[in-house]
Amino acid sequence: MHIGVPTEIKNSEYRVGMTPSGVHELAHHGHQISVQRGCGVGAGFTDQQYQKAGANILASAEQLYSSVELIVKVKEPLPKEYAYLRPDLGLFTYLHLAATEALTDVLLQSGACCIAYETVTDSSGHLPLLAPMSEVAGRMAVQAGAHCLEKAQGGRGVLLGGVPGVAPAHVVIMGGGVVGTQAAWIALGMGAQVSVLDRSLPRLRELEALFAGRLNTIFATREALEFYAQRADMVVGAVLVPGAAAPKLLTRQQLAGMKARSVLVDVAIDQGGCFETSRPTTHEQATYVVDDIVHYCVANIPGAVPRTSTVALTNSTLPFILELAEFGIEAALLNNIHLREGLNIYKGKITCQAVAGNFGREYCDPLLLLAAKDSSSVGRLDSSIPVDIEK
């Protein structure tokens, strides 16, 4: 298969869809890889490294998209890239369609086969391609929030860990999944008082055991969400409904009761955000203030640490890319239910129930659509393909 890796054009996005090690692995299996010139520079990977790994270097995005069968990238296509989409093209990337109906319509009209990292599953029901970026985002959320609490950044002027004789800041984390767990590790490591709210009692028990009682675990009723938010110095929004828009946890009226110049970090912003006052921001202009509350709502938080993020992402995506390449996109989707869960748009149809439900659109079962094609039945590729570590 001919696979293409373009340069990301989203604001302050320095990640790239594949490392040179990933290119080397695919080339070893006999596949052709083309990368756009300079695609890895932001993450510290040179064109020479990609060439040495076996990639062709193409000068433009137009040239790249027109010559490959599968595009592997990081973020959703932007308007400049829409014209490159076509019915016989596969797209493998983060899409977060529930946050933008306009992009959903563009992908439907393109006829392309669009597989979203964030809805691919594994045998345990987890989201293996979302997890590495959730880990990065969770850790960075507290790091960024601590910076925003500084007076010079518009915050309350509070040190997260306090000092002897001065109480630490109170960090409230809404959601106890991957993002929330990683945020808790960093907040506790920085010496903060930490409370985690979640609707799953089994998960709260797991967190209680994991952190040996060093944080407060709270069942997330509406009353509890408001109560703890209004006593927090920093609130981290870390909720996830796979493939769907994030639920709104706090209204503007509730936020008005928070401490002046406290900080909201909305990690769910790429799924629409979990606070009523949230709107996407960029790394260049990361914050804004509403009702005297500092909002940090960067939609690509892991893009600030592109080296770490790119290696972590490639380690997770490479086995799936190999499967798509070895068997062909449609056959791989037909034979792997976990990969098929990632299929959001196929031949002008919405194949993700959460996306269809969010916009009140028709949902089409991807298995039925794929089975209607003349796809041969093949066995699964061994998903334990080794991945080179970063050198």
Query: In this predicted model, what pLDDT tens digit does every residue of 238-278 receive, in sequence order?
Result: 998 888 889 999 999 999 899 999 999 999 999 999 999 99
The answer on pLDDT for 382 being more than 90 is no
Q: What pLDDT shows up at residue 185?
A: 98
The answer on pLDDT for 376 being more than 60 is no
Q: What pLDDT shows up at residue 242?
A: 85
Spatial separation of the C-alpha atoms in residues 317 and 247, rounded to whole Å: 27
Known catalytic residue: 147?
Answer: no
Same domain, 184 and 233: yes
- Selected catalytic residue, list 96, 170, 295, 338: 96
pTM attached to this predicted model = 0.91
Domain span holding position 186: 137-304
Question: For residue 357, what are the CA distances in angstroms to 135, 170, 364?
Answer: 28, 37, 11
Q: Residue 381 falls within a domain, yes or no?
A: no
Same domain, 339 and 259: no
Query: What's the mean pLDDT when you consider all of the chain?
Result: 94
Spatial separation of the C-alpha atoms in residues 301 and 140, rounded to whole Å: 7
Question: For residue 369, what are the CA distances in angstroms to 320, 348, 349?
Answer: 20, 11, 9
Same domain, 164 and 237: yes
The answer on pLDDT for 391 being more than 70 is no
Q: What pLDDT shows up at residue 223?
A: 96
Side chain identity, residue 119: T
Share of the chain above pLDDT 70, in %: 95
pLDDT digits (tens, 9 = 90+) for 209-224: 999 999 999 999 999 9
Q: What pLDDT shows up at residue 386?
A: 39
Spatial separation of the C-alpha atoms in residues 366 and 375, rounded to whole Å: 13
Q: What pLDDT shows up at residue 379?
A: 42
Spatial separation of the C-alpha atoms in residues 335 and 379, rounded to whole Å: 7
- Selected catalytic residue, list 198, 233, 266, 270: 270
Where does the pLDDT of residue 99 fall: very low under 50, low under 70, confident under 90, or very high at 90 and above?
A: confident
Q: What pLDDT shows up at residue 225?
A: 97
pLDDT digits (tens, 9 = 90+) for 295-340: 999 999 999 999 999 999 999 999 999 999 999 999 999 999 999 9
Q: Residue 359 falls within a domain, yes or no?
A: yes
The pLDDT of 124-147, averaged and rounded, is 96
| Residue where a domain stops, chosen among 280, 304, 328 | 304
CATH code of the domain in which 273 resides: 3.40.50.720
Same domain, 103 and 239: no
Q: How many domains does the chain have?
A: 2
Q: Are 201 and 207 in contact (CB under 8 A)?
A: no
Same domain, 112 and 149: no
Q: Residue 127 falls within a domain, yes or no?
A: no
Q: What is the CA radius of gyration of the chain?
A: 21
Residues 6+ apart with CB under 8 A from 208: 217
Known catalytic residue: 96?
Answer: yes
